[in-house]
Amino acid sequence: MTLFLPEHAASRVQPVTDSVQLPALLADAIGTVHTPCTTTPRIVSLVPSITELLCDLGLSSSLVGRTGFCIHPKELLASIPKIGGTKDVNIDKIRKLAPTHLIVNIDENEKPTVDALAEFVPHIVVTHPLTPRDNLALYQLLGNIFAAQAQALQLCQRFEEVYATLPVLSARSEQSARRRLVYCIWQDPWMTVGPVTYISAMLALIGWQTWTPPHSTARYPVFRWNDEMLREIDGVLLSSEPYRFTDAHVDALEKQLGLPVQLVDGEMLSWYGSRAIAGLHYLKQLA
């Protein structure tokens, strides 16, 4: 949440078809243009969803370090050393792994940590998808850097196929179908997601609008339950991560608020990368 957040640029992705080759997309989220890797890379990933994506791009053998939250795919990651969490990174462990590339994310990793790692890691790849379709650029970026263009093209095609099947709200029915919901990611204190986040953009695909505190500019604002906000919302979504909300939380909150409360799979709604394809299928089920 404390990297060097740029103004978000529009996606540079062109439509992907069998006859169209991936463009030479090599600029990351902060505009750094990366050189295609011509030797075997040594990659440390500090982003769980990116770790999964690297494996799906066929790059698991190039992974030399991951966080303890990088848990998918379990079999391929079992032998990859853990280097701490997404924020409490063990810099000395990473130094000993001698990585050529470090994959980080603006929301998940801290700038001081990344600055310290940049002193000895030659290539820092910064990611920051804000909308589901930003995944297309992400696939292409990593595919082009690590010579996995064919695998990236396949992921683009799979994403586009599922995306095209999402229910589309007509202009006439959009307003009546829209639901305004609080998407909870934490309690003590209660926290939700701002409008310019990947989660909000995912839910918007099925006409679900996320509520945020008035006048808040935070990406992940703290809030308190009160009568005014309860009059503005249609229900509550409790995410299974990063806080581990359960059915017991659902029952307790429904009794407290008198509104519908639903437990949702946080990985499906917040993990970009290859997991986003399954996430689109999950959205169809929610809709």
Residues 6+ apart with CB under 8 A from 279: 132, 202, 267, 268, 269, 271
Which of these three, 95, 128, 163, is where a domain ends?
A: 163
Q: Are residues 158 and 199 in the same domain?
A: no
Average pLDDT, stretch 261-268? Answer: 98
Q: Are residues 157 and 180 in the same domain?
A: no
Asked if the structure places residue 227 within a domain, the reply is: yes
The answer to whether residue 20 scores a pLDDT higher than 90 is no
Rounded mean pLDDT, 11-36: 66
Domain that holds residue 113: 43-163
Residue bearing the bigger pLDDT, 51 or 176? 51
The answer to whether residues 132 and 148 belong to one domain is yes
User: Residue 263: which residues within 8 A CB-CB, separation 6 or more?
Assistant: 237, 238, 240, 245, 246, 247, 249, 250
What does the pLDDT read at residue 82?
98
Whether residues 207 and 134 share a domain: the answer is: no
Least trusted range by pLDDT, from 11-15, 72-76, 247-251: 11-15
Point out the domain boundary residue: 163, 186, 217: 163
Give the pLDDT mean for 225-249: 97
pLDDT band with cut points at 50, 70 and 90 for residue 209? very high
Residue partners of 221: CB distance under 8 A and separation at least 6: 191, 192, 194, 212, 213
172 pLDDT band, cuts 50/70/90, is very low
Global confidence as pTM: 0.88
Between 158 and 12, name the one with better pLDDT.
Answer: 158
Q: What average pLDDT does range 133-159 have in this prediction? A: 97
Q: How long a stretch of residues is the chain? A: 287
Same domain, 54 and 134: yes
Over range 195-215, report the average pLDDT: 95
Cα R_g (the chain), whole angstroms = 20
Poorest-pLDDT segment among 23-27, 145-149, 155-159: 23-27
| pLDDT given for residue 182 in this prediction | 98
pLDDT tens per residue across span 265-276: 999 999 999 999
CB-based contact 61:41 (threshold 8 Å): no
Q: Say yes or no: 126 and 52 in one domain.
A: yes
Residue 127: inside a domain: yes
Same domain, 194 and 108: no
3-state secondary structure of 122: coil
Number of structural domains found in the chain: 2
Together in a domain, 260 and 216: yes
The pLDDT of residue 22 is 46
- Is residue 9 pLDDT above 90, yes or no? no
Average pLDDT of every residue of the chain: 90
Look at residue 235 in the predicted model and tell me its pLDDT: 97
> At 168, is the pLDDT very low, low, confident or very high (cuts 50, 70, 90)?
low
Classify residue 255: in a domain, yes or no.
yes
